[in-house]
Amino acid sequence: MSNRTETSLTQELKSHILILGGIVAFLWIIEIIDFFVFRDSLNGLGIRPHHIQGLQGIFFAPFLHGNFNHLAANTLPLIILGWFVMLRDVKDFFVVTFITMIISGLGVWLFGSPNTIHIGASGVIFGYLGFLLLRGFFERSFVSIALSLVVGWLYGGLIWGVLPSQYGISWQGHLFGFIGGVFAAQILTKFHRTKA
């Protein structure tokens, strides 16, 4: 491996660490401020299904968590799956994040139970999962299929989270996040093919 390639890979890895580390730090800072300063009142900015004001939650909900345990449970999958998404192209990470945030949020707003508030990054995490599992199907390249298999082996059990199960868990956010990830995989596959 040449020094130039090694330097490029090191810079890319630093960029990945900076982006993911910055996002995770931001989430933890928000939760700390919400807990100690606002006494969890920021959670009211989450998605409120069927309420016009609740639409703003589409943009706020992924950054808000019910408590530190909720955020801790989302942190590791966010880092690992997010990193897998950005491996080929950092831009893919931002596109997938945005698409899944919007589709997950709209799905929750349309189909969530009335008088509930939905918060948390898990819709985006399920978007990453959907993107990574189905990218191999859409791209049909050895690398993307191999990555889909690795992700399926590591996180395939999460797929059950798209079904109604535990009280207090936004399965709608999971389901529509997953759908958003699949949609992002299809769009980005077409984009990369036309670009090539």
Domain extent at residue 7: 1-195
Given this model, what pLDDT does residue 8 score? 86
- The number of distinct structural domains making up the chain is 1
The pLDDT of 89-114, averaged and rounded, is 96
Q: How far apart are CA 110 and CA 119, in angstroms?
A: 15
Instruction: Name the pTM for this structure.
Output: 0.94
CATH classification at residue 79: 1.20.1540.10
Buried b (16+ CB within 10 A) or exposed e, 89-109: eeebbebbbebbbbbbbebbb
In sequence order, the 6+-apart residues with CB closer than 8 A to the CB of 59 are 101, 105
pLDDT at 88: 87
pLDDT tens figures, 118-171: 999 999 999 999 999 999 999 988 999 999 999 999 999 888 888 887 777 899
Q: What is the pLDDT of residues 77-86, one digit of tens each?
A: 999 999 999 9
Q: Which of 7-11, 88-92, 125-129 has the lowest mean pLDDT?
A: 7-11
